[in-house]
Structure 1
Amino acid sequence: MTAARTPVNRITVTYGDSPSTFGHIYHATSAPAGTIPGGRMRPVVLIHGGYWSDEFSLTIQSAIARQYAQSGALVWNIEYRRVGQAGGGWPGTGRDVLAAIRALDDLVPAALDPQVAHRVDWSQVAVVGHSAGGQLAVWATAQLRARTRHCVISTVIAQSAALNLEAAARAGSESVRRLIGRPYEEAPHLYREASPSAQEPFDAHVVAVHTADDEAIPLVVSRRYVELMTERGQSAELVVVPGEGHSAFCDPRSRANRETARLLGI
Structure 2
Amino acid sequence: MSGPRRIAYGEHRSQFVEWTPVREARGVVVVIHGGFWRAAYDLALGRPLAEDLAARGWSVLNVEYRRVGDGGGMPQTFDDVAAAIDLLAGIDGVAGLPVVALGHSAGGHLAAWAAARGAHGWPQRVALTAVVAQAGVLDLRAAERDRLSTDAVGALLGDRPIDALVDPTQQLPLSIPVWCLHARDDVDVPFAQSQQYVTRAQAAGARAELVEVKGGHFDLIAPGTQAWAAVLDAVTAARG
Structure 2 distance, partners of 1:66, 1:8, is 11
2:82: which partner in 1? 98
SS of the aligned residue for 2:39 comes to: coil
* 1:252 paired residue among 216, 223, 237: 223
2:7: which partner in 1? 13
1:156: Cα distance to partner? 0.2
Q: Does 1:64 align with 2:49?
A: yes
Flag the structure with larger Rg: 1
- Which residues of structure 1 form unaligned runs of 5+? 1-6, 32-38, 110-116
Structure 2 distance, partners of 1:95, 1:46, is 16
1:17-73 Cα distance to aligned partner (Å, 9 max, x none): 211010001134xx4xxxxxxx54311000000010000000011011011001110
Q: Residue type matched to 2:231 in 1?
A: T
Shift in CA distance, 148/238, structure 1 to aligned 2, threshold 3 Å: same
Structure 2 distance, partners of 1:91, 1:25, is 24
1:255: Cα distance to partner? 1.4
SS of the aligned residue for 1:23 comes to: strand
Give 4+ residue runs of structure 1 displaced > 4 Å after superposition.
Answer: none
Structure 1 distance, partners of 2:82, 2:95, is 20
1:141: which partner in 2? 115
Structure 2 distance, partners of 1:213, 1:197, is 22
Q: Does 1:89 align with 2:63?
A: no
SS of the aligned residue for 2:199 comes to: helix
TM-score by length of 2: 0.90
Correspondences of 1:176-215 after superposition (within 5 Å): 176-182=153-159, 187=160, 189-190=161-162, 192-215=164-187
1:160: which partner in 2? 135
The number of aligned residues is: 232
Contact between 2:7 and 2:17, CA under 8 Å: does it hold in 1? yes
1:166-200 Cα distance to aligned partner (Å, 9 max, x none): 11112233111111123xxxx4x345531110114
- Percentage identity across paired residues of the two chains: 34
1:8: Cα distance to partner? 4.1
1:113: which partner in 2? none
1:64-104 Cα distance to aligned partner (Å, 9 max, x none): 10110011100000000000012x01121011101111111
TM-score by length of 1: 0.81
